[in-house]
Structure 1
Amino acid sequence: MTEVLRTQRLVLREMVEGDLDDLAALLGDPDVMRYYPRPKTRAETLEWIALNRRRYRANGFGFWTMLGREDGAFAGDCGLTIQRVDGVDEIELGYHVHPARQRTGLATEAAIACRDLARDRFGAGRVIAIIHPDNVPSQRVAQKAGLTLEKRTHGYGSGTQEVLIFAASL
């Protein structure tokens, strides 16, 4: 398992199939996924792991598994992906935090570390966060990570759901 970075309280490392139980519980949780079309099934979570492993090879980044630095306990996932928004490829910063660890600042800590990694290791000049308009906690994380609301758009994914685009120049 390849460690990507450490923060004060977290270790982020590449996802592996052994993360399936933890990730399936997280991404299958209706509350965690309430701003997505639906929670992921176990099979979809296995594909999520495989997709991120392909992203590591193709781009050098993807979403990484977050673990508590002191206890090694699963905390969620966070990372970078390339997303097409309004016809432009952007580097998106995203995060999902285990319910027991929400409202502890871990999402912000991981998001800041991934933002800095995008700049320092991958030479990104900009990152975005794509956030559902009702997802106020995620908007706060993006703002604490230095991103500001840039626009509302339907030009993402299927193009039917309105999303907010938060952005930061790096």
Structure 2
Amino acid sequence: MDVPGPTPRLLLRPMTDDDLDDMAALLGDPVVMAHYPRPRTRDEAQAWIDRTRRSYRDHGFGLWVMVDRSTGEFLGDCGLTVQHVDGVDELEVGYHVRPDRQGEGLATEAALAARDFAREVLGATRLIAIIAPENVASQRVASKIGLGVEKRARYGDDQREVLIHAGVP
């Protein structure tokens, strides 16, 4: 499976079951999940990995583990997923960074690599980001990779209000 090339500080690699401890810590962290309905349990983190691996099989892409190139340290995840919004399947870029490494530009660096992968490898002509209206940091990342607010929508099982940022990758 293809993955985005390395960035100056990051390697992106496929997610595996061996990432469960790191993914459970990431997705279970209340800071990381502040703009989601709630933090995820360990079982839900395993389901996240399972969905990601199905996406690799079904689409040839998914979320990738974000690793520090110099230390090999797990930093978060970033990648591309298919999301159903307002009756349409959309290609979304998403990202989560460990709370102790937020604010360093890692999400932007990884999201740029995912955006370029969407354009250059997948031939995508549209990319979105689904972001909670109060998540200003994620909105800044979306803006930095060329995605602007397109509309408000209802999303997820709970039909929470989100902003759809969109653009050409």
Q: Give yes or no for contact 1:5–1:13 (8 Å, CA) kept in 2.
A: no
Match of 1:96 in 2: 96
Displacement of 1:158 in angstroms is 2.8
2-structure distance, mates of 1:10, 1:103: 15
Residue 113, structure 1, aligned to residue 101, structure 2: no
Match of 2:159 in 1: 160
Which aligned pairs between 1:31-110 and structure 2 lie closer than 5 A? 31-110=31-110
Change (3 A) 1:139 1:116: same
3-state SS of paired residue (2:152): strand
Q: Give yes or no for contact 1:4–1:14 (8 Å, CA) kept in 2.
A: no
1:78-119 CA-partner distances (Å, limit 9, x unpaired)? 000001111111000000001111100000000011001001
Displacement of 1:4 in angstroms is 4.5
Gaps of 5+ in 1: none
* TM-score, with structure 2 as normaliser: 0.96
Displacement of 1:50 in angstroms is 1.0
Would you identify which runs of 4 or more consecutive aligned residues in structure 1 move more than 4 Å?
Answer: 1-4
Gaps of 5+ in 2: none
Displacement of 1:164 in angstroms is 0.1
2-structure distance, mates of 1:69, 1:99: 18
Match of 1:148 in 2: 148
Q: Give yes or no for contact 1:152–1:162 (8 Å, CA) kept in 2.
A: yes
Displacement of 1:3 in angstroms is 5.6
Match of 1:23 in 2: 23
* TM-score, with structure 1 as normaliser: 0.95
